[in-house]
């Protein structure tokens, strides 16, 4: 089994660009309009919507643009991403205004790292060894 994509919400394409392109270094692969009828059938939301796909050679994110002020409400669901240098990533994410959650490990060996984006989606960040 292979994970093909992760779908998330975002308030605007500009905010999604900031996270997926500027912070994660992904490419914008395509935009797609979804009719109100399909949105209602899939998600129970009867309105036209657009989603944007960001990706790289390993994974893609399908981002539904809400064009409103809503935020993610789930406190526990998160995606885990592997990056090459966590300390550099933390500095960059902090400078870009993303919420950085660092929790020291109980054994004193490093820390757990989570990033929360502008829509309140949560990402665990681990270093790629």
Domain boundaries, the chain: 5-127
Please indicate, yes or no, whether the overall pTM of this predicted structure exceeds 0.85: yes
Q: Does residue 14 have a pLDDT over 80?
A: yes
117: buried, middle or exposed (CB in 10 Å: 19+, 13-18, 0-12)? buried
Residue 48: band (very low, low, confident or very high) from pLDDT cuts 50, 70, 90: very high
Position 32 scores a pLDDT of 95
pLDDT band per the 50, 70, 90 thresholds, residue 43: very high
CA 62 – CA 67 distance, rounded (Å): 15
The mean predicted confidence, pLDDT, of the chain is 93
Lookup result for tokens 């919400």:
9
> In 41-98, where do the E strands start and end?
49-55, 60-65, 78-83
Determine the pLDDT at residue 128: 84
Report the phi/psi class of residue 14: left, alpha or beta, with left for phi > 0 and alpha for psi in -120 to 50.
alpha
Spatial separation of the C-alpha atoms in residues 83 and 21, rounded to whole Å: 14
Reported CATH class of domain 5-127: alpha beta
71-126: pLDDT as tens digits: 998 889 999 999 999 999 999 999 999 999 999 998 888 899 999 999 999 999 99
Residues 69 and 40: their CA atoms lie apart, in Å, by 20
Q: How many CB atoms lie within 10 A of CB 52?
A: 19
């Amino acid at each position: 089994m292979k994970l093909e994509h992760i779908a998330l919400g975002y308030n605007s394409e500009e905010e999604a660009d900031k996270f997926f392109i500027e912070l994660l270094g992904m490419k914008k692969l395509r935009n797609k309009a979804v009719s109100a009828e399909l949105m209602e059938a899939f998600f129970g939301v009867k309105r036209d919507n657009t989603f944007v796909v960001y990706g790289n050679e390993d994974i893609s994110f399908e981002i539904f643009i809400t064009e409103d002020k809503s935020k993610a409400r789930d406190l526990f669901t998160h995606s885990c991403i592997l990056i090459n240098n966590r300390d550099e990533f933390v500095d960059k994410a902090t400078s870009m205004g993303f919420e950085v959650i660092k929790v020291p490990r109980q054994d004193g060996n490093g820390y757990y790292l989570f990033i929360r984006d502008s829509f309140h989606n949560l990402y665990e960040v681990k270093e790629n060894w």
